[in-house]
Amino acid sequence: MKQIAIIGGGISGLSAAFYLEKARASGAELEYTLFESGQRLGGCLSSDRIEGCLVEAGPDSFLTEKPWALSLCKELGIADQLIGSNDSQRKTYIVVHGRLIAMPDGLMFMVPTQLLPTAFSPLFSWSTKLRMAQELLHPPRPMHEDETVAQLVERHFGAEVVDRLADPLLSGVYGGDAGKLSARAVLPRFVEMEEQYGSLSRAMLAAHKKMAAMARTQPSRPLFTSLKDGMQQMVDAIVGRLTPDSIRLRQFVRRIYPEDSGWRVAIEPSEDERYDAVIVATPAHVAGTLLDGVDHGLARNLLDITYSSSVTVTLGYYKQQLEKLPPGFGFLVPRSEGTRMLACTFVHNKFPHRAPDDKGILRCFLGGARDEAVLGLSDEEILQTVERELRDIVKLEVRPIFARVYRWRESMAQYEPGHIARVGQIEKRVAEIPGLALAGNAYHGIGVPDCIRGGMEGANKVLQLTPESQPARR
């Protein structure tokens, strides 16, 4: 019987466990054990109910176009629980000199695809608008060295677009800094478009036309998908499918060592245990430490992937207290505004099933790559900051009926220039080591669907391990 250890009980490790369980139920001769150092499963996925409102501590949804989360929900039998974002109400604001300015229609990520809304938008200065018009003539750029997102966007549209769009959008998705994230890893389509078309606007217009033609033949799908009872519902559904004896909470894995015919896993507070295969589904900075005794170069590469931390603050209000808020999904705050808040989502507008009719929820994001210090503040200090900044930005003078602060230390992998090459080296080395697989948000995408895909691929790799495979060696 093949014995498999999974280290880390976030969505990556849980997905690996689910696909191993599926293979076991279909007759594969295996047993698996999932080690989680914390008291609960789900990692970043965690939902609470407060005053009848659904509060997401971590991710609130996933991108619908990436298929792995949807497929998993279907396999789990919870497809009827999926909900889409209220895209008809999708409007996002950028704070400029303390005022909310709507992102103009036709802006795809940060590239204008409709000239008139951008030309009349107060979001950009006239010199930036001129720059955007000139961008249409940008010549194709052959393959070149990786660069930061800020460098790529500034070359095309100027520094104001980096400040007002690229940076706030990336701090929303990655908790990251456009000046540090790799264009090739984070915006691969932009890099390809530049190579092929030169102008990103022209490339986006061409893509937009194709998408519009497809949309005429296919039913439109929401941009984001979530679950009626929150992202925790996915975690609970997976856990419900696993063999209860296979889950070990409060078990901290310290090291992994190759042993003659497999692996020795050093666990606190238990004795070491032996496994044929190991799936490491922790953040890369943990994976690097665990694997230092297996391959020092591999460990070094893993430790070189940096992480940022973030804080989410959810505030509940009576609906009538929020009457002055504009319609839409929320706002992003450029760094140049000097606030600690990076973004705020109007949760009750973004998704159905989040708040009773008489209540509304605001979710604010702080921290990220440039403000690690916010994690050191007390909940009271964080709440005071958020309430003061909401007063300044959206003139919200009332106290919330509830407030909850969540801290996420070193949870978001930062894909810096060179990331793709580094991950290539990591994967080449891991492919040479039988019975070892990695999964997590450090490799091919930070979002939930990519983590699920990573867990599934990790499970597939160890399922292919045969007794004839060579044992791992230093």
Ligand X SMILES: Cc1cc2nc3c(=O)[nH]c(=O)nc-3n(C[C@H](O)[C@H](O)[C@H](O)COP(=O)(O)OP(=O)(O)OC[C@H]3O[C@@H](n4cnc5c(N)ncnc54)[C@H](O)[C@@H]3O)c2cc1C
Tell me which residues touch ligand X (CB under 6 A).
7-13, 35-38, 43-45, 58-62, 252-253, 281-283, 286, 310, 312, 408, 411-412, 440-441, 446-448, 451
Smallest distance, ligand X to C-beta of residue 449, A: 6
Give kind and range of the element (H or E) at residue 227.
strand 224-227
If the CB atoms of residues 200 and 448 are measured against ligand X, the closer one turns out to be 448
Shortest gap between Cβ of 451 and ligand X (angstroms)?
A: 4
Residue whose CB is less far from ligand X, 11 or 433: 11
Q: Which is nearer to ligand X, 252 or 257 (CB)?
A: 252
CA pair distance 65, 223, nearest whole angstrom: 7
With respect to ligand X, which residue has the nearer C-beta, 427 or 432? 427
How far apart, in whole angstroms, are the C-alpha atoms of residue 409 and residue 70? 27
The least CB distance from residue 140 to ligand X, in Å, is 32
Nearer to ligand X, 76 or 133 (CB): 76
Strand-pair partners of 406: 312
**Which two three-digit tokens encode residue 222?**
């929401």
Edge to edge, the sheet with strand 273-275 lists: 252-259, 262-268, 273-275
User: Locate tokens 């930036």: which residue?
Assistant: 128
The answer to whether the beta carbons of residues 383 and 302 sit under 8 Å apart is no
Cα dist. 469→4, 5, 65, 292, 459 in Å? 15, 17, 37, 22, 16
Q: Please, which residue, 176 or 440, has the CB nearer to ligand X?
A: 440
Residues contacting 81, CB < 8 A, separation 6+: 73, 227, 228, 229, 233
Q: How far is the CB of 267 from ligand X (least distance, A)?
A: 8
Closest contact distance (angstroms) between CB of 33 and ligand X is 11
**Least distance to ligand X, CB of residue 211, Å:** 21
Comparing CA positions, the residue from 152, 158, 202, 204 lying closest to residue 178 is 152
Least separation in angstroms between residue 147's CB and ligand X is: 24
Cβ-based nearer residue to ligand X, 200 or 343: 343
Which pair of structure tokens corresponds to residue 145?
Answer: 């060295």
Helix (H, G, I), strand (E, B) or coil at 203: helix
Please state, in angstroms and rounded to a whole number, the distance separating the CA atoms of residues 254 and 262.
17
Nearer residue to ligand X within complex by CB, 45 or 279? 45
Least distance in angstroms from the C-beta of 387 to ligand X: 20
CA atoms of 249 and 34, how far apart (whole Å): 8
